[in-house]
Chains A and B, each alone.
Chain A
């Protein structure tokens, strides 16, 4: 060992540890905002690896991708280059919860992102294992690699994913490992513990990959992509995508498979107690599902391609940490997989995560300046959640180094705001996944208007080009013009109008009505009323859809805006950073502990901390009022 031999390898503004979905967004944001940035990864072949499912998007997550895009992040652009199937989910529900979800070609996704990193000015990409982070006066100073390189840096983003302290479990077999057979990051885990970081164990899992040739698709239900492809990136709206989409397939487990699982439960490290980490409830292993829902005689299984030039197929819904031979037997008892050939075995992986309540809403550590955390190390799960945090961490690392104001999105502005506020205020006991139900204001936080909500902010940060910003402004203008125009189009109850209306909706009008108000009727759509509106301009689809949503949702949106106003009032009641909670009489002991730990920035944030009661909030409000008066009288 050459433990003590180190060399100075260079000076950077920002070093990002890890090149997964969080790391790449952090590094790109930092480099694009003008910081001399270095990104280090254990394997250059693992950049933006989709180590689990081959999808991007879905409910809640799709919203995140759009928001990342509007702020000038890379995820949407990258998946638009590499998707092989596209679907809009939830079409039967309201447009606020329509949700884009695509299948990725994993290798292409990786290659494209690697290219982007390589071509980014200001950004250096290196393969290296970071083994230590050096602080000085509670501030980041350098990172050290296993080969002795010391990179001095002003800021650091830690995005270690499941590598940090990674341990893979397959039945009775377990070993230190990163995801998908890659090196784990063990020394950094030890170094962080030595520095006093409290690291806890989280767990996640992935199913087996099986050979396409061993599957009988004839007994499965084919799930093709949508005819109409809608891209993720606002930059690609209206663009033609000339790709041949591949299908996924739906099949089911059998009672026999469940029986095998039950017989071998004692060999599962989850049930034998070998794994201490907490797994996600919404993404349970097959053994979890069988134990928790014994009454179900079958569970859904989706077969999804991993890419265009591979025969590996992902078996969604059957993640497992059972012994390999048991897994094979279980899979063989899934309809259509009777002759299955495994290519990669399913496994559970345990890894280190910090307590995310130790972070500020900028994702900077509360005690160590310029040290940022993003992704699974914060207790989240999912590529999109990681990318969103990476982007915010990268932005704020840059803001700090450049001496600018922190960049924070609140719960009323973006799903990203909800995600981060939940993590730093409430913390999480299981890997945190974004869901639309977590967002209180989802009627206004839609994926279709993410650009209108956030592009300006991205532009001001320097992440969004002028061209893109102007494109958004133009969209906004077109939308507002069209809404104004529709209010002026008045329909009168002529025979002709009512005939058209009747054919569209089985209803008619008796008095004059604007087309704007008419469109509030659920049976009518913007496109279906074209015949009633001869002067209608030719507008791009995204504007037509958005106009329709704005009209149909108007009443609800207004209600929500009123709620947001109230919310903002509480968010704007700032709590001084140096407040000493122990000095406030009448706060409950639990509240003092929690408030001291989380150190909320506003009354609004304080009210979301579990264990802080409305009575405590009252006490706090009064205390702040006293403080304010004391300050005035002095």
Chain B
């Protein structure tokens, strides 16, 4: 247990503050290195909160509170540091990445608890409780993984594993049955298969880099003219007790983004300012901006006022989202209807149409149900099909990727197949850490793995 570990200990996207936690012999040093106090001659005091900034090479990452805690009276009984930053995804991730850069290792699931246990922090009754939690957790994670199975990581990784398994099976058959009529596997074929697997792993890793749904939310753009009820809609969604808001200042002046989470579905609500602006602005800069925003959208909520007829501009905007998954909200349905619905029926046969009166609360529940429906049925076209949202998974994929890179070099060097198999197996095992298929050699590191990071 020499290594210092770090992890985000608040659930991603669900809390107002974010906590990054370090544990291990270098924890305090790393903390000191990245923390800058405003006070001169700053000396940290044990178990006191200090105010200051997290700084990466003079660049300020965030304004934080930090606590340094010396062993042994800490949760893990090791030196620990806790950094309280602004909530939301981006600040905590940046701080975590900085800690990793400074030499900490990303904690495995439940590793803090594991250390607590192994360092004698938990007593027997607590350990009994731990057992129960392991059980409960694994049942819960089973549910979660089932959901994920519907078209995401696990399935994709299993398929990649399958390519590797086939390679191994072929090699084994070649080795164990030299006199049977088994086609000799060629290095060329192995290379092709390895590349195939590697490419797919790359795509997954890239999806993490691009940052997609589960990390940054389902990219949802609310479209509509001024006064159609966008703000009301936004507020209505936000006011739902179920939604937890974590606001991040707009990344551009023209676009306002809100991160919310509805029953576990992370939404990034994008209000396209461009369309709100004057016609001139739309003509000049806005259209470009808007187009870009729309092209990144996973889901469009288009708001229309039924009390006024469709304009040519409305139609032009709708043309831009023709290929997108769209929910059309016909607002102010309590007023007299002047809008011709047939336009949507003809041009957007697959769009869900909801009649609403946002101010009176009509249609909000239906909207939320529709979003959930779309999300869970994988009906939403996500820009990259499978999305990676977990740093641990990413690290495992990177490990597998590197192993396959090595493998390819060795194939080109014409190394014997039984040597090559060592790397194939090792790549497979890295992927198995994601799918839970690998029988990890070091089970101690897998113990408590059904734990949420932190406690």
Instruction: Determine if chain A interacts with chain B.
Output: yes
The answer to whether the Cβ of B60 comes within 8 Å of any Cβ in the partner chain is no
Residue of A nearest to B138 (CB): A615
B184: chain A residues within 8 A (beta carbon): 92
Given contacts A93-B418, A94-B419, A603-B443, contact A586 B178 (CB under 8 A): no
16 further A-B pairs in the complex, CB-CB below 8 A; given A59-B175, A626-B127: A93-B174, A94-B419, A300-B179, A435-B172, A437-B175, A556-B419, A556-B422, A569-B442, A586-B131, A607-B439, A614-B440, A614-B446, A615-B135, A618-B447, A619-B131, A619-B135
Give the shortest distance, in Å, between A8 (CB) and chain B (any CB).
50
Expressed in whole angstroms, the minimum distance between the Cβ of A561 and any Cβ of chain B is 12
A interface secondary structure, majority: helix
Task: Return the contact of B172 from the options A300, A437, A585 (Cβ within 8 A).
Answer: A437
In the complex, 15 of the A-B residue pairs with CB atoms within 8 angstroms, ordered by the A residue number, are: A59-B176, A90-B178, A93-B175, A95-B416, A436-B176, A436-B418, A443-B422, A559-B426, A566-B442, A569-B444, A586-B134, A614-B446, A615-B450, A619-B131, A622-B447
Contacts of A566 in B (CB 8 A): 441-442
A565 to chain B, nearest CB (A): 9
Kindly state the separation between the CA atoms of A566 and B413 in the bound complex, as whole angstroms: 29
- Whether B419 contacts A59 by the Cβ 8 Å rule is no
Q: Is B297 an interface residue (CB 8 A)?
A: no
* A623 CB, nearest partner CB in chain B, Å: 8
Contact with B along A611-622 (1 / 0, CB 8 A): 000110111011
- B69 is an interface residue with CB less than 8 A from chain A: no
Chain B residues closer than 8 Å to A95, beta-carbon distance: 416
The smallest C-beta distance from A519 to any residue of chain B, in angstroms, reads: 13
Contact of B443 among A99, A282, A302, A607 (CB under 8 A): A607
Q: Which residues of chain A from 30 to 49 have any CB-CB distance to chain B below 8 Å in the complex?
A: none
8 cross-chain pairs, A with B, having the tightest CB-CB distances, nearest first = A94-B416, A566-B441, A437-B172, A94-B418, A435-B176, A586-B131, A618-B447, A89-B178
A591-606 residues with Cβ-Cβ distance < 8 A to B are 603
A116 within 8 A of B: no
Given contacts A59-B176, A586-B135, A615-B138, contact A621 B418 (CB under 8 A): no
Min CB distance A16 to B, Å, is 31
Question: When the two chains form their complex, are residues A618 and B179 in contact, meaning their CB atoms are under 8 A apart?
Answer: no
State the B residues within 8 Å of A (CB). 117-118, 124, 127-128, 130-132, 134-135, 138, 172, 174-181, 184, 413-419, 422, 426, 436, 439-444, 446-450
Nearest opposing residue in chain B for A95, CB measure: B416
Residues of B contacting A615 with CB < 8 Å? 134-135, 138, 450
Q: What is the interface of chain B mostly: helix, strand, loop, or mixed? A: helix
Given contacts A94-B419, A586-B135, contact A622 B130 (CB under 8 A): yes
A619 pairs with B446, CB closer than 8 A:
no
B residues in contact with A585, CB < 8 Å: 128, 131-132
Q: Does A533 touch B at the CB level, under 8 Å?
A: no
Is A166 in the interface zone, CB < 8 Å from B?
no
Contacts of A570 in B (CB 8 A): 441-443
Interface size on A, residues (CB 8 A): 47
Which A residues contact B (CB, under 8 angstroms)? 59-60, 89-90, 92-97, 99, 282, 300, 302, 435-437, 442-443, 521-523, 553, 556, 559-560, 563, 566-567, 569-570, 585-586, 603, 607-608, 614-615, 617-619, 621-622, 625-626, 629-630
- Measured in the bound complex, the distance between the Cα atoms of B418 and A522 in whole Å is 14
Q: Which residue of A lies closest to B439 (CB)?
A: A607
CB distance from B143 to the nearest CB of A (A): 15
Q: Which residues of B contact A586 (CB under 8 A)?
A: 131-132, 134-135
Q: How far is the CB of A563 from chain B (nearest CB, A)?
A: 6
Whether A442 and B418, one on each chain, are in contact in the complex, defined by CB atoms closer than 8 angstroms, is yes
Return the chain A residue nearest B168 by Cβ.
A437
CA distance in complex: A254, B118 (Å): 66
Beyond A566-B442, A607-B439, whether A443 also contacts B418 by CB under 8 A is yes
Write out the residue numbers on chain A whose beta carbons fall within 8 Å of the beta carbon of B439: 607-608, 614
List A contacts of B128 (CB < 8 A): 585
B448 and A618 contact, CB distance less than 8 A: yes
Measured between alpha carbons, how far is A93 from B418 in the docked complex, in Å? 7
A residues near B416, Cβ cutoff 8 Å: 93-95
A559 and B450 alpha carbons, distance in the complex (Å): 28
B417 touches A93 (CB 8 A): yes
Of A96, A608, A625, the most chain B CB neighbours within 10 A belong to A625
Inter-chain contact A443/B419, CB cutoff 8 Å: yes
Distance of A55 from chain B, by nearest CB (Å)? 11
The chain A residue with its CB closest to the CB of B438 is A614
CA distance A69 to B439 in the complex (A): 33
Contacts of B118 in A (CB 8 A): 625
Contact A522 B413, CB 8 Å, known A553-B419, A625-B117, A626-B127: yes
Whole-angstrom distance between the alpha carbons of A97 and B420 in the complex? 13
Partner of B422, one of A99, A300, A560, A614: A560
Q: By the criterion CB–CB under 8 Å, are B441 and A563 in contact? A: yes
- Complex: A94 Cα to B134 Cα, angstroms: 44
Q: Are B417 and A60 in contact, CB atoms less than 8 angstroms apart?
A: no
Distance, CA A630 to CA B124, complexed state (A): 9
Contacts of A59 in B (CB 8 A): 175-178
Interchain CB contact under 8 A, A622 and B127:
yes
Q: How far is the CB of A621 from chain B (nearest CB, A)?
A: 6
- Chain A hits for B415, CB < 8 A: 94, 522
B118 to chain A: closest residue by CB? A625
Residues of B within 8 A of A569 (CB): 442, 444
In the assembled complex, how far is the CB of residue B110 from the closest CB belonging to chain A, in whole angstroms? 10
From B436, which residue of chain A is reached at the shortest CB distance? Answer: A614
**B417: which A residues are within 8 A, CB to CB?**
93-94
User: Do residues B418 and A96 form an inter-chain contact, with CB atoms below 8 A?
Assistant: yes
The interface residues of chain B lying within 8 Å CB-to-CB of A607 are 439, 443
| Cβ contact of B124, chosen from A437, A442, A626, cutoff 8 A | A626
Q: Which single residue of chain B is at the shortest CB-CB distance from A437?
A: B172
Tell me the bound Cα distance from A608 to B138 in angstroms.
Answer: 20
* Complex contacts, B426 vs chain A, CB 8 Å: 559
Q: Given A90, A553, A567, which contacts B175 in the complex, CB threshold below 8 Å?
A: A90
| Given contact pairs A300-B180, A436-B175, A569-B442, A97 touches B418 in the complex (Cβ within 8 A) | yes
Docked CA distance A563–B422 (Å): 11
Bound form: Cα–Cα A442–B443 in Å: 22
- CB atoms of B414 and A522 under 8 A apart: yes
